[in-house]
Amino acid sequence: LCGVHDWTSGFFPGSLWYAYELTGNDTLKTQAIQYTNLLNPVRYYKGTHDLGFMINCSYGNAERLAPNDTIAAVMRETADNLCGRFNDSISAIRSWDFGTWNFPVIIDNMMNLDLLFNVAKATGDNKYKDIAIKHAMTTMNNHFRPDYTCWHVVSYNNDGTVERKQTHQGKNDDSSWARGQAWAVYGYTACYRETNDSTFLNFAIKVADMIMDRVKTDDAIPYWDYDAPVTEETPRDASAASVTASALIELSTMVPDGQKYLDYAEKILKSLSSDAYLAKVGDNQGYILMHSVGSLPNGSEIDTPLNYADYYYLEALKRFMELKKLRVEHGELKMIQ
């Protein structure tokens, strides 16, 4: 339902890869290869910072599960194009090419760093990793409030000073947009995984604790913005919940008191797997999850299925099953002996 140059184009192929990994179903593998190959033109595309979402979720999982000779070249070329958006004076990767901002950087951009980390490992060239780390540090220093909530957009002047801070997809500039908080905890957890720098781990913990404190819903699925006025009509955001669950499962393996993060992620997964969020087969346009929000202030994708909600839900399930030593055999859940 989207073109190859849309920022969400990598999630459906990625979901197919995860579905194949979870089930061993070769038909899903065939489809995953087919839909991943459709994204080949993205390797030449320089017009977005979302290249990590597009290529790491598709080709990155392909490299893990069905490696071939072409994947590494696609990932390297894409990483080079992402690095081309890095500005040395600002020490960050530019996000958008539209709007009136001088040099906008959005919290979502933390999610595109995994592509750079993976290409650094594959090539042995640390320039990719160095750029990712610099971007993460700049974002850490400027995107967050004292309570560890984050703005969505920070725009920089050419000398690296901050031009302005906004929340483009949240309730207002000073509110805590739910998916932005999820991108933050996921991004810094990944940075610690790739660097072993405790600065990133400590920061991920602070953001995770903030999320667990701020989300007051009974089922742990946040409203679209933590500061949205709550009525029966206020939409939840299953996509923010999925991203948070996946991040907290990983974070739980990194800290001594990790059980509380795993328990919270498990609560999210149980809610998402209930009839309240999990669609019936054949409904919901083929999506797995219902009730996500894209950009409510801009009137876009309100209380609707979204392909990235599905992707991170499947990723969270995969991570949870690996941790609990579970696997699917002939449609049934089994303990791995």
Q: Which residues are catalytic?
A: 50, 108
Q: Which two tokens stand for residue 27?
A: 């038909």
Cα 174 from Cα 227, distance rounded (Å): 9
Give the residue carrying structure tokens 């990793």: 129
Helices (H), 84-231: 113-123, 127-142, 178-195, 198-214
SS (H, E, C) 147-162: CCCECCEEEECCCCCE
- Residue 71 contacts by C-beta under 8 Å, 6 or more apart in sequence? 59, 62, 63
Beta strands 153-156; 104-106: pairing state: antiparallel
Phi and psi at residue 330, to the nearest 5°: 50, 40
Q: Which of 57, 55, 140, 147 is nearest to 105 (CA)?
A: 140
Asked if 58 and 14 count as a contact pair (C-beta separation under 8 A), the reply is yes
Q: CB atoms < 10 A from the CB of 258, how many? A: 17
Q: CB atoms < 10 A from the CB of 61, how many? A: 24
